[in-house]
Structure 1
Amino acid sequence: MLFSDYIDDGPMWTGTGPREHRFEVTFEEAYVAPPNVMVSIAMWDSDTKTNQRMDISAEEITEAGFDLVFRTWGDSRVARVRANWIVIGSLPNEDDWELY
């Protein structure tokens, strides 16, 4: 679960205008270089009386992790969101060669 703002009247549920929620993801093992990250919405619960606006992305991607970022704006009321992510990249291997 990325957030559940309807439970405690959080900003995604009660606010208006630009709003953002960040979730820091830390990889179990660091990658050799910043990997490719794809994020998607797995569950979306919003008020039907307002426009449903949303943007989800991966930002600040490093070898160790990334920020999963959800944004909404205007009068949208988002109760809760669950997100999925997949990472594609090279992990270190004992057979890797390091020159110099």
Structure 2
Amino acid sequence: MAAHVGHRTPETGRHRYPVYPDDIRPRLQSVLATLADMEFALERSIESIRANGADEVQKREVINLLRKRHQERRAPYLRELSDLQKRVEAIFS
């Protein structure tokens, strides 16, 4: 099912309803959900490490490593999100 996004046109003040292609909305939702899940998992891991009784220097090192890996894992999803955004902009321009 296509997604409708309402916009008011400046000329008439009425709504016009552009339609996303059927493949964009589900993929966009999936990518955003994956990114949100990854963020949540990172924050939980960091909280767990901070609550740990380990040395503060070790904690910082582990947290920095987690953040680096997190950025690496996020990169392909961010690229896909950027590609989807470009497709949406091309449709509505």
**TM-score if structure 2 supplies the norm length?**
0.27
TM-score, structure 1 as length reference: 0.26
More helix by share: 2
